[in-house]
Structure 1
């Protein structure tokens, strides 16, 4: 991220954001509490934390899928009171429509936003090429591998040129090699777009490979425990960067913070089982 970008007003801001849900037994469950986070234009922030700590809830507050119980969620300086314009959301389970071809899946977003069929398909064709699926435009999802489906999902999200990109463990179901390829693909396509990214993952290596900053969340009810700047130059190769001394040093530093929260979650789970 450039100094110019960091000096601009944040694209995403959570200020004292807390989210509570009604539990099945009629009580109140606090998913996240007092979240304070800003993400600037063109900045890539990864969020890590123990299982069930509220990482996905954090994305829901930014996307407008859930309103905060307390505090504020803002996108482009405006309170989030619905799904904000310019937000792209990529989930763990892709939203590829099985009855539509690759091309028509990617064209769905532009069509929904009012583009003519011809313009939407032209834009979709360009993005299908960009994600490396040229020649597969007429294929249907059941004819694609898991990695190819993820490429379709990525094209579906990026074809709308979002200014905010929210990603909830999008590559977690892929094998290790395919996951590395998709990480490289994401970095290549995001670079220069100016989009602010919040990427939720359980995989600390993935977070460090991709992000400018890594946010560590506490065991639930989660708040932000610490934030680390990733001192790795861009552009990055997802596989090669893992072998550098700089990567190993920042990995140890972040893991020391994260490990404590993972241990707390494990101990809580063991106590409930007993």
Structure 2
């Protein structure tokens, strides 16, 4: 077993609330991700899944416990981290080519070299011929391809993905899931993928982490022993997929029901 690339050890994150009290988003969170491993994180709405990504990325410091990347404590954004958000992080005033080239440029590449790298990844994500287009001229799926190229062009060792496909229609979402698996395969990157869609989590991941209702901690970790390479739509109808789905859903369902009861009580 290789040493974990990402480690959260008893990680806790507290935020001041609007009422002057303190809100604990995640508590005593233990999580390990190996190099090249694809980990999906699921849990009830508002339980702290995105906060977990923020701790790994260094965008938020832990209030207690430890967060390590490559064995080193995370005190700022670690080198080699790519982050793909739920909303597109494209710059509307820049072309597709210049959006994708922005990452290499920020890391010191010359304009010519950055554009060369960007053109390569634009082709890899299936957008060759759209280099001069602007975000408003693209469909939702095409903008996600731009965002994926932006994430991958810097060859990250860690990819953090916060519900990146949730706004897409069902067909486009399935295509993007297959595209992500194709581009990630062989990259060696570790992926932490937050999603509300349990089918998506199982179809993509090597293991699925179930978080409890807020404040989140790890409830269960399920290995996804499905062969790769995978075709998402074909995989969903297999008996092995359905078996894993039932196992994970039984764990997740309890937390979703707890969150629903808690929400009802808060409203009352």
- CA offsets 1:3-30 (integer angstroms, 9 cap, x no match): xxxx111110000100011111111110
Q: Secondary structure of 1:243's match?
A: coil
Matched residues, number? 268
> What per-residue deviation string (whole Å, max 9, x for no partner) do you get for residues 141-170 of structure 1?
000000000000000010000000000000
CA distance in 1, matches of 2:31, 2:265: 32
Q: How do residues 16-55 of structure 1 correspond to structure 2 at under 5 angstroms?
A: 16-55=10-49
Provide the rounded CA distance (Å) in 2 between the counterparts of 1:38 and 1:92: 23
Q: 2:139 aligns with which of 145, 148, 153?
A: 145
Give the aligned partner of residue 75 of structure 2.
Answer: 81
Between the aligned partners of 1:119 and 1:177, the Cα distance in structure 2 is 35
| Superposition map of 1:151-162 within 5 A | 151-162=145-156
Match of 2:99 among 100, 105, 114: 105
User: What's the secondary structure of 1:239's corresponding residue?
Assistant: helix
Deviation of 1:270 after TM superposition, in Å, equals 1.3
| Deviation of the 1:234 alpha carbon | 0.2
Shift of the alpha carbon at 1:273? Answer: 2.1
SS of structure 2 residue aligned to 1:187: helix
- Residue of structure 2 in register with 1:9 after alignment: 3
- What root-mean-square deviation, in Å, do the aligned CA atoms of Structure 1 and Structure 2 show? 0.5
CA distance in 1 between partners of 2:64 and 2:122 (Å): 41
What whole-Å deviation, never above 9, does each CA across 1:66-120 have from its counterpart, x for those lacking one? 1111100000111000000000000000111101110010000001111011100
Q: TM-score, normalised by structure 2?
A: 0.99
Look up the SS of the partner of 2:130 in the other structure. Answer: coil
Q: 2:198 and 2:261 mapped to 1: Cα distance?
A: 21
Moved over 6 A (4+): none
What TM-score results when the alignment is normalised by the length of structure 1? 0.97
Which residue of the partner structure matches residue 267 of structure 1? 261
1:170 maps onto 2:158 in alignment: no
* Aligned: 1:58 with 2:13: no
User: Unaligned regions of 5+ residues in structure 1, if any?
Assistant: 1-6
In the TM superposition, residue 139 of structure 1 has moved relative to its aligned partner by: 0.5
Matches of 2:266 and 2:23, distance apart in 1: 16
SS at 2:52 equivalent: helix
Task: Look up the match of 1:216.
Answer: 210
Q: Name structure 2 gaps, 5 residues minimum.
A: none
